[in-house]
Amino acid sequence: MATLPLSLIFAFKNRPKCVITRAQYVKVMAWQEVTAKRSNELGSPTRRKSSIQELVFLEDDVQALNEAFPQGEKADTSWAVTVLFYLAKLVFGILGLALSIIWLLHIIVFMLVNPPAFPFLNQVFIQLDSAWGLLGTTAFAIFCYYLIMSVISGEMHSIHPMKYQGTLMNSFLFNVAIILLCSTR
């Protein structure tokens, strides 16, 4: 339950701080071209595997470079959207951290103690439902959705990471099985 908020907060921490100059962009792109050419050389199977990993890292570097040096007609707008995107990640990371702490408190207070010491979130949802008809249901849905998103985030970062057009079918099925397991009672 910690990987989702922490990954969002660390993404904000490691964001591009300012737009880089054209000279810096050209210098980094030249270095990335040299790295790509070196990775494309054929060699032993272990060399090919390491070159595939280098290409994956290179793709990530190119994406980060494109965030730091927006191009096109609306480069200023693109940079503003990037800044707002990282600020939203920080806000959702802090909210997610609060939700994780509340979930952990509920697990400790209500689930681990037999008989339950206090109906922590249960009572909160009932009180919210009595205040307004759908408020408790909406809060419950937000907590459940956050729990599933935490499972997806934590599971896909560590066991079988998913990458666009780079995930094997068995990894995809394993991820789906874990999500289904966590979403059932």
Q: Is residue 26 part of a domain?
A: no
**177 within a domain of the structure (yes/no):** yes
Asked if residue 118 is part of any domain, the answer here is yes
Domain count, the chain: 1
- In tens digits, what is the pLDDT along the chain, a chain of 185 residues? 677 888 888 888 888 777 666 666 667 667 666 666 665 555 545 555 566 666 666 666 666 666 666 666 676 777 788 889 889 999 999 999 999 999 889 888 888 888 878 888 888 999 998 888 899 899 999 988 888 888 887 766 666 777 777 777 888 888 888 888 877 75
| Model pTM score | 0.66
Q: For residue 171, is it within any domain?
A: yes
Within 10 angstroms of residue 71's Cβ, the number of other Cβ atoms is 10
12: amino acid identity, one letter: F
Instruction: Give residues with Cβ within 8 angstroms of 151, minimum separation 6.
Output: 178, 179, 182
Q: Is residue 167 part of a domain?
A: yes
User: Which domain covers residue 9, as residue numbers?
Assistant: 3-19+70-183
> Is 172 a member of any domain?
yes
The DSSP line for 80-112 is: HHHHHHHHHHHHHHHHHHHHHHHHHHHIIIIII
Tell me if 126 is assigned to some domain.
yes
